[in-house]
């Protein structure tokens, strides 16, 4: 048996990245203190190998909550902590979703975090205002024929759709559009990596691999 420093481990990942969130969710679920006897193999393995599994799970859930609040992702926050029925996004492969059996068996909460309704109301309004501001910024840049401004605006909209709105389809569309307005080589590299990242998280592996390869040779 060994102890696991979840905060030290997760600090290796960028603060706002989707990868960081997915790793935290995996750790929280795998180390959950579930004595009902219906744990899956990964959960049983984690609980048997880590002496502080219950503490790790609690910390991971708290970090998940902090992550979602910091990026303003209200939709995913409600899905995880509000026990809302999750809807499968048609552009994300089924392999990234739980099966019906898994969904029904995990319907009970495995954390003690209470839903923050004030955060939901406040952040929903803020996200709407932010989207309007980003859209206006794009319109202004387009009217001024500013390639730098258009590229930056599309990039900002792509990040907003991916991290905040849980709308990977529009995130990919904006990322692809931003490529047409790159001015410097650094702009091009950043856009290629952004498209690769969005491609991975939308399950479009071919797009992700293609643009990752282009980024290596940029």
Secondary structure percentages of the chain, helix, strand, coil, to 5: 70, 0, 30
Which residues of the chain register pLDDT less than 50? 34-38, 42-43, 45, 85-108
Query: What pLDDT, on the 0 to 100 scale, is given for residue 183?
Result: 87
At 83 the pLDDT is: 58
What is d(CA 172, CA 184) in angstroms, rounded to the nearest whole number?
Answer: 21
Q: Where are the alpha helices (DSSP H) in 39-164?
A: 41-49, 53-71, 74-81, 100-105, 117-143, 147-159
pLDDT at 47: 54
Residue 187, SS3?
helix
Does this model's pTM top 0.75? My answer is no
Alpha carbon of residue 123 to chain centroid: 17
pLDDT at position 87 is: 39
- Distance CA(32)–CA(128), nearest Å, equals 35
- What the block records as the tokens of 171 is 């995130």
The Cα 103–Cα 196 span in angstroms is 29
Q: Count other Cβ atoms within 10 Å, centred on residue 143.
A: 9
pLDDT of 120: 93
Q: For residue 8, what are its two tokens?
A: 């030290």
Q: pLDDT tens across 76-107, in order?
A: 999 899 855 443 333 333 334 443 334 434 44
């Amino acid at each position: 048996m060994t102890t696991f420093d979840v905060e030290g481990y997760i600090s290796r990942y960028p603060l706002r990245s989707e990868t960081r969130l997915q790793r935290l969710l995996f750790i929280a679920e795998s180390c959950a203190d579930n004595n009902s006897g219906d744990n899956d193999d990964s959960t049983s393995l984690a609980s048997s190998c880590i002496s502080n599994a219950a503490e790790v799970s609690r910390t991971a859930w708290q970090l998940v909550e902090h992550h979602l609040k910091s990026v303003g992702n209200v939709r995913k926050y409600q899905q995880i902590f509000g026990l809302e029925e999750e809807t499968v996004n048609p552009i994300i492969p089924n392999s990234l979703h739980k099966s019906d059996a898994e969904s029904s068996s995990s319907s009970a909460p495995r954390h003690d975090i209470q839903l923050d309704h004030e955060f939901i109301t406040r952040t929903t309004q803020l996200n709407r205002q932010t989207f309007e501001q980003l859209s206006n910024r794009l319109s202004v840049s387009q009217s001024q024929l500013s390639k730098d401004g258009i590229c930056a605006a599309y990039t900002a909209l792509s990040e907003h759709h991916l991290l905040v709105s849980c709308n990977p389809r529009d995130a990919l569309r904006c990322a692809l559009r931003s490529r047409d307005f790159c001015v410097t080589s650094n702009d091009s590299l950043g856009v290629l990596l952004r498209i690769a990242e969005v491609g991975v998280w939308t399950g479009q592996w071919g797009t992700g691999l293609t643009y990752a390869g282009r980024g290596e040779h940029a």
